[in-house]
Structure 1
């Protein structure tokens, strides 16, 4: 029977761990007999008692749980890659530590995997959250679907089940400043998606700040779409055409009515508008340049401080 590695990135989840671990262990009973389980919890530089809670859980289930402690906070996507590199399973799953995604859905995902699908996506058909958070999430995924990857499912996703071959591809690429879940779709493997309603967070406070959401949007768009740079080109052409027409108008006005108004106000509006566009264009180009420089430096995505292996696994 195959081995399933479940990767759980953790950041300030000390209150979630005592609930999450028993839920995952209980979920094993829904799988066919003989499936082997491995849980890889990655502490992404938490400053609370998350690591202590993870080590306590490891002591309770020493044959299943592996804890990876990173030196500092590198973001959930890089933490997931760290978990992938430690995974030894034939298939893998990624789930959040706050249990907003239903672990029982993994059973159906596993069934699709046994039928030959390399990638199975749990996409959020709806979410129990309300207000600005829900609106921002819906806007983000709408932009990505219409400007970058048209073959991603509606509603967004970060709950996936995939084959070890997909894991090997992702780890080998070591993509930085990107979106690891969209990268799985970009690889081109045939996938199946399972819609579900994401639960409202019941324990703890989300650390997914507005700043991180904006960075993720920028990273995702620049990684999978040429839209920003092409938008600059199109806008430049439009502004150039307007400037040419306005220039012809000014010349004609000077010839036909030498004593006419000088048009200082209109000129200042044009100058300010074009200057603002130039600054925005430089900012977008700078984002691309910075990402190229970051890739050229080839610094590690993360630094592992300690790996606490499961007793059934290899020692580090």
Structure 2
């Protein structure tokens, strides 16, 4: 009897949990009768009544629901890793608590897993959201595909179904400041891609702030691409060639007796531009160094509270 563990990270989702729980239980009807289910609900340090709602869900289905309560907010990706470490299924799925991703898609994902695929991706072919949120998401995944991971599907994804072997790789890596879902693709297993339209959030308010999006973008680029470092080298070489060419120009003016332009304003612009580039380059290098230090300290990605009775 295959066991499916469904991992749901929760953060300020007290209003979503009753609806999500009902949808997940109803979705079981689409699976073969021999499949057993485990719901690993991970509270990522919520400050509302999310834990209370999760415990109610567990009390309704004590044989299927596990509540993992983290001591503090560590981010959704680390919360998911915590859930993976606690899951016991032969296969696993990750889905958000706001039900923007269709749980019924997991039935199709499960069938692909039975065929031998260790990773099945539900990628966002389109979104019901509009405005800057949609623009940011498309731009982010387009850049990642161009400069970091060309084999990721278009449109981005955070709805995945994977084998226990993939889960073991993820928990062993314990990678920090990265992108968990891109890391699954990076492992190299052949995957199936199922496009779908991401729903608009109906309940509650998203905690996915601009600051968190910017950090995810930086983490993803630095974790999977050497492009920023290579860009520093290329720009530095270009500036060096420009400086060398300008130096030859000044020498030529002296040799042929021409008047050398004073160019105080031009000189200051060049100095400020080069200084700005140097500071930006140091900032990029500092990001890499900080990530190396963070990994070397080997602090835990998360701390789990004692289970509540």
Q: TM-score, with normalisation over the residues of structure 1?
A: 0.96
Kept after mapping to 2: 8 A contact 1:85/1:171: yes
Q: Deviations over 1:86-105 (max 9, x none)?
A: 00000000000000000000
1:119 aligns with 2:128: no
Residue by residue over 1:224-283, the C-alpha shift from the partner in whole angstroms, topping out at 9 and shown as x without a partner, is 000000000000000100011011112222333464431112211111111110011000
Q: In the alignment, what sits opposite 1:212? A: 212
Kindly report the root-mean-square deviation, in angstroms, between the aligned alpha carbons of the 2 structures: 1.0
| Paired residues of 1:40 and 1:87 also in contact (CA < 8 A) | yes
Q: Do structure 1's residue 59 and structure 2's residue 66 form an aligned pair? A: no
SS across alignment from 2:96: coil
1:146 offset after TM fit, Å?
0.4
**Equivalent position of 2:140 in the other structure:** 140
Match of 1:152 in 2: 152
The one-character-per-residue Cα deviations of 1:47-74 (angstroms, maximum 9, x if unpaired) are 0110111011111111111000000000
**1:38 counterpart SS class:** strand
Contact 2:126 2:197 in 1 (8 A): yes
Measured in 2, the distance between the counterparts of 1:215 and 1:168 equals 26
Q: Which runs of 5+ in 2 are unaligned?
A: none
SS of 1:40 mapped into structure 2: strand
Residue 185 (1) aligns with residue 185 (2): yes
Query: In the alignment, does 2:293 pair up with 1:293?
Result: yes
Q: Distance in 2 between matches of 1:225 and 1:189?
A: 19
Contact 1:9 1:43 (C-alpha < 8 Å) held by counterparts:
yes
Match of 1:82 in 2: 82
Match in the other structure for 2:195: 195
How big is each residue's C-alpha offset from its partner over 1:143-167, in whole Å with a ceiling of 9 and x where there is no partner?
0000100000000000000000000
Name the SS for the 1:154 alignment partner: coil
Number of matched residues? 309
> 1:66, 1:307 within 8 Å by CA — same for their partners in 2?
no
Distance in 1 between residues matched to 2:306 and 2:254, nearest whole Å: 76
The answer to whether the 8 A contact 1:120-1:191 is kept is yes
Query: What residue is the counterpart of 1:313 in the other structure?
Result: none
Q: Assess if the C-alpha contact under 8 Å between 2:250 and 2:260 holds in 1.
A: no
TM-score, normalised by the number of residues in structure 2: 0.98
Extract structure 1 runs of 4+ deviating beyond 4 A. Answer: none
Contact 1:6 1:38 in 2 (8 A): yes
Distance 1:260 1:305 in 2: 72
